Amino acid sequence: MSAGSKEVILAAAKRTAMAHGYTGLNFRDIAAEVGIKAPSIYHHFPTKADLGAAVAKRYWEDIVVDLEAISDQSPDPLRALRRYPEIFRKSLSSDNRMCLCSFMAAEYDDLPDTVKKEVQAFADVNVAWLSKLLSAAGVVKSKESQARARAIYCAVAGAQLFARGRSDISLFDAMIDSYRSAGLLPA
pLDDT tens profile 61-76: 999 999 999 999 999 9
Tell me, what's the pLDDT at 160? 94
Core vs surface per residue 78-104: b (16+ CB within 10 A) or e: bebbbbbbebbbebbeeebbbbbbbbb
| Confidence tier at 96 by pLDDT (50, 70, 90) | confident
| Mean pLDDT for all residues in the chain | 93
Is residue 175's pLDDT more than 70?
yes
Under DSSP, is residue 140 helix (H, G, I), strand (E, B) or coil?
Answer: coil
Q: Rounded CA gap, 52 and 153, in Å?
A: 22
Is the C-alpha dihedral spanning 89, 93, 96, 97 positive or negative?
negative
DSSP 92: H
Q: Cα–Cα distance between 111 and 118 in angstroms, integer?
A: 11
The CATH number of 52-182 is: 1.10.357.10
Nearest in space to 163 (alpha carbons), one of 172, 175, 155: 172
Backbone torsion region of residue 140, taken as left when φ is above 0, otherwise alpha when ψ lies between -120 and 50, otherwise beta: beta
pLDDT of 149 strictly over 70 = yes
Is residue 50 predicted with pLDDT exceeding 80?
Answer: yes
Q: Would you state the pLDDT for residue 2?
A: 63
The residue extents of the domains of the chain are: 52-182
More confident residue, 138 or 102: 138
In degrees, to the nearest 5, what angle opens at C-alpha 80 toward C-alphas 75 and 84? 155
Whether the pLDDT of residue 117 is over 70: the answer is yes
* Per-residue confidence (pLDDT) for residue 98, from 0 to 100: 82
